[in-house]
């Protein structure tokens, strides 16, 4: 309440609400964001109340653990079963694989540990005689941290099971799905602090769709929405930086360099979407000895990504909102989740359940 600048300032909120109302499109218009933090801000602050009736605002594949395919989780479990210590971020622990979650594998006796930072995996490896595996998930925001531990004289018993994903290729893939009718993207601020604006311009070249990078405070989100609606009204779709206080057009050159030194783009499978070309990160040749897939090879069959009746695939592709799913809040709750979107705290279903997103007030 004593912030020097109120990012929730009600007067500025009202001004933006008025601007959004003036810019309201006459026909249905769907804005998609791809970030759990955006969904959290939108839902927790009740921001959908500010949207004109014609505008829908949906979360697409914005939850990194939700888009991690079951087969990657199955692989992590198979590796943990060899006796290795498996470290990963807390959100990953309860996401269902084909048969088990990491949490369930842990109760079987596997040594699976929750860490808050990639550096913790290194620290655990330095203190251990066992193989230590970092199951690395996340978008461009978390991938540089994985790169750092591999460049910082990593202990020889550490390896990385990389399942990092890239946002711009997913934005393109979503547009190519049938009947998605995405009108604009609200692009994630923190991913953009790393990559800047150019990757969006390159990936979405010729797609004629407004892409506005937005921050996460309530006013940031409303501002970005106003910019999107203005582009739409004026017929001037482009990549626009609505979060200049954090995002440079060039991004973060140091972080980009780290990514480029350690990783190369690889095709990646996204749960609920399928394989997207050059949308994942694989370790480059000099780092292959730290690749868990080489170090601890395990045979894992095709994964089971879908659960009958669960509409996570539609939610992850922004073709449905959580309350469209018959399981939502009935059989599927954060305490007994059925699909990944109810598990990951960035998942739309989990956020809607916790913060009442399904009921516009």
Partner 1 sequence: MSTSQKDMRITQLHGAGGELMAELLDRLILPRLGDASGMGAIGLRDLDDGATIPLPSEARGELVLTTDSHVVKPLFFPGGDIGRLAAAGTINDLAVMGARPIALTLAAIIEEGFPIAELERIVDSFAAALEEVGVPVVCGDTKVMPAGDVDGVVLNTAGLGIAKTAVSDAGLRLGDRVLLTGSIGDHGMALLAAREEFNLRTRLESDVAPIWPMIASLLESDVGDAVHAMKDPTRGGLAAAANEMARKSGTCIEIVESAIPIREPVRGLSELLGISPLEVANEGKAIVVVAAGAADEALRVLRAHPLGAEAAIVGTVTDEYPKRVILGTEVGGRRFLDMPLGDPVPRIC
Among 219, 321, 327, 338, binds partner 1 (CB under 8 A): 219
Closest CB to partner 1 among residues 37, 75: 37
The one segment of 41-49, 201-209, 223-231, 244-252 that binds partner 1 by CB under 8 A = 41-49
Among 97, 168, 218, 337, binds partner 1 (CB under 8 A): 218
Among 24, 30, 44, 155, binds partner 1 (CB under 8 A): 44
Q: How far apart are CA 55 and CA 128, in angstroms?
A: 53
Q: How far apart are CA 172 and CA 5, in angstroms?
A: 36
Does the footprint of partner 1 cover residue 106 (CB under 8 A)? no
Among 20, 23, 47, 316, binds partner 1 (CB under 8 A): 47
How do 184-188 and 274-283 pair as beta strands? unpaired
Closest CB to partner 1 among residues 141, 146: 141
What's the token pair of residue 30?
């769907």
Closest CB to partner 1 among residues 193, 239: 193
Task: Order across the sheet with 132-138: list the strands.
Answer: 112-115, 85-89, 132-138, 158-164
Q: How far apart are CA 284 and CA 273, in angstroms?
A: 25
Nearest to 188 by CA among 320, 64, 356, 342: 64
Nearest to 160 by CA among 129, 186, 137, 183: 137
Does the footprint of partner 1 cover residue 60 (CB under 8 A)? no
Q: Can you name the residues that pair with 173 across neighbouring β-strands?
A: none
Could you tell me if 84 and 110 are in contact, meaning their C-beta atoms sit under 8 angstroms apart?
no
Among 5, 53, 116, 153, binds partner 1 (CB under 8 A): 116
Could you tell me if 318 and 170 are in contact, meaning their C-beta atoms sit under 8 angstroms apart?
no
Among 31, 33, 37, 303, binds partner 1 (CB under 8 A): 37
Other CB atoms within 10 Å distance of the CB of residue 144: 21
298 phi and psi angles, rounded to 5 deg: -130, 150
Does the footprint of partner 1 cover residue 230 (CB under 8 A)? no
- Closest contact distance (angstroms) between CB of 213 and partner 1 is 17
Binding marks (x or -) toward partner 1, 319..358, rule CB under 8 A? Answer: --------------xxx---------xx-------xxxx-
User: Which residues contact partner 1 (rule: CB under 8 A)?
Assistant: 1-2, 6, 8-10, 13-14, 17, 36-37, 40, 43-50, 89-91, 116, 138, 141-142, 190, 218-219, 222, 333-335, 345-346, 354-357, 359, 361
């Amino acid at each position: 309440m004593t912030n020097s600048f109120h990012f929730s300032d009600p007067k500025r909120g009202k001004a933006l609400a008025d601007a959004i109302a003036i810019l309201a499109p006459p026909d249905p218009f769907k804005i998609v964001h791809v970030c759990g933090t955006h969904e959290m801000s939108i839902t927790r602050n009740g921001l959908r109340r500010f949207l004109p009736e014609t505008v829908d605002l949906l979360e697409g594949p914005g939850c990194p653990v939700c888009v991690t395919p079951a087969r990657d989780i199955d692989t992590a479990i198979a590796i943990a079963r060899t006796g290795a210590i498996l470290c990963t971020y807390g959100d990953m622990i309860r996401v269902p694989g084909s048969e088990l979650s990491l949490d369930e594998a842990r109760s079987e006796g596997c040594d699976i540990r929750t860490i808050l930072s990639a550096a913790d995996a290194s620290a655990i490896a330095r203190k251990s005689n066992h193989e230590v595996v970092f199951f690395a998930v996340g978008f461009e925001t978390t991938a540089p941290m994985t790169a750092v531990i591999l460049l910082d004289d990593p202990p020889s018993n550490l390896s990385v099971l990389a399942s990092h994903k890239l946002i711009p290729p997913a934005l393109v893939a979503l547009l190519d799905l049938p009947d998605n009718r995405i009108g604009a993207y609200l692009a994630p601020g923190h991913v953009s602090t790393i990559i800047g604006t150019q990757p969006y311009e390159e990936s979405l070249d010729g797609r004629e769709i407004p892409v506005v990078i937005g921050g996460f405070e309530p006013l940031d989100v409303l501002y970005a929405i106003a910019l999107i609606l203005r582009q739409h009204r004026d017929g001037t779709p482009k990549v626009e930086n609505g979060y200049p206080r954090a995002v440079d057009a060039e991004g973060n050159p140091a972080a980009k360099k780290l990514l480029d030194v350690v990783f190369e783009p690889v095709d990646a499978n996204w749960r609920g979407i399928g394989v997207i070309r050059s949308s994942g990160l694989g370790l480059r040749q000099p780092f292959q000895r730290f690749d868990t897939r080489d170090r601890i090879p395990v045979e894992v069959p095709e994964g089971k990504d879908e659960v009958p009746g669960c509409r996570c695939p539609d939610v992850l592709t922004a073709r449905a909102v959580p309350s469209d799913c018959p399981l939502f809040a009935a059989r599927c709750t954060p305490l007994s989740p059925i699909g990944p979107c109810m598990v990951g705290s960035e998942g739309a279903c989990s956020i809607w359940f916790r913060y009442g997103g399904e009921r516009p007030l």
